[in-house]
Amino acid sequence: MRISIIAALDERGGIGKDNRLPWHLSADLERFKTLTMGHHLIVGRKTCQSIGRPLPGRKGIVITRDPRFEAPGYTVAHSLEQALSLARQRGENEAFIAGGAAIYALALPLADRMYLTRVHTIAQADTFFPPFDPAAWKLLQNQRHPADEKNEFDFTVQVWERGAKLRRKA
Ligand SMILES: NC(=O)c1ccc[n+]([C@@H]2O[C@H](COP(=O)([O-])OP(=O)(O)OC[C@H]3O[C@@H](n4cnc5c(N)ncnc54)[C@H](OP(=O)(O)O)[C@@H]3O)[C@@H](O)[C@H]2O)c1
């Protein structure tokens, strides 16, 4: 099972503000939907609450330490490892780690692939993607999209794949 991170970050690595995305980029939301459709989507409890609903066609897993937490349409897990093994048991071929910062930090050492949207702005972010060493990754795709009426800022979509020898066994 491939472990993939999917995230949108600004030029300083900012990903969120007040438990929301700091921008509106229709084309990026569409790309997120296309990539994740039919797959397991693993999120932290705060991101789950920020999304506020199950995402149609995605198999949501929410990670929390709270033994009583429930979210309609999501399966609850209490660690990233538990979430990944649940997805694996269900026959998933690519599990998507969709944030937020706490869950990206847990997933970064395990991830095989990262779908990153680099938003060409500096947002007033309060939450950040963990630093990563680009030398440990190969850039497979790098495509710039201009801002327009539906996309607030220019952004570049990237696909990064980790070198096989550098991946820690999940
Ligand atoms: N730009 C993007 O692509 C993107 C994507 C996703 C989210 N975001 C943004 O990121 C922000 C949220 O990120 P965040 O870091 O504050 O929250 P988060 O990662 O969504 O959720 C954090 C919660 O996950 C649970 N958790 C974390 N580590 C755990 C562990 N080791 N074991 C069990 N549970 C664990 C805890 O839940 P409990 O407190 O319930 O125990 C913790 O409070 C929001 O602003 C959101 O909009 C941005």
The β-bridge relationship of strands 59-63 and 155-162 is unpaired
Q: How far is CA 46 from the centre of its chain?
A: 13
CA angle 18, 16, 136 (to 5 degrees): 155
Point out which residues pair with 96 in neighbouring strands.
4, 41
Question: What is the C-alpha separation between 95 and 3, in angstroms, rounded?
Answer: 5
Question: What is the C-alpha separation between 63 and 104, in angstroms, rounded?
Answer: 12
43 with 62: CB under 8 angstroms? Answer: yes
pLDDT bucket at 165, cuts 50 / 70 / 90:
low
DSSP H stretches of helix in 52-119: 80-89, 101-107
Q: CB of 69 closer than 6 A to ligand 1?
A: yes
Q: CB of 22 closer than 6 A to ligand 1?
A: no
Cα(167) to ligand 1 centroid in Å equals: 23
Q: Which residues of 57-88 are buried (b: 16+ CB within 10 A; e: fewer)?
A: ebbbbbbbeeeeeebeebbbbeebeebbebbe
Quick: pLDDT tens for 105-155.
999 999 999 999 999 999 999 999 999 999 999 999 999 999 999 999 999
Atom of ligand 1 nearest to the CA of 99: 6
Atom of ligand 1 nearest to the CA of 63: 34
Q: How many residues does the chain have?
A: 170
Please count the structural domains in the chain.
1
The residue segments making up the domain with residue 100 are 2-166
Q: Is the pTM of this model over 0.75?
A: yes
**AA letter at 115:** Y
pLDDT bucket at 163, cuts 50 / 70 / 90:
confident
Among 18, 74, 103, residue to substitute to test ligand 1 (most atoms within 8 Å of Cβ):
103
State the CATH number of the domain containing residue 120: 3.40.430.10
Q: CB of 97 closer than 6 A to ligand 1?
A: no
Q: CB of 95 closer than 6 A to ligand 1?
A: no
Burial class (CB in 10 A: 0-12, 13-18, 19+), 32: buried
Quick: pLDDT tens for 30-50.
999 999 999 999 999 999 999
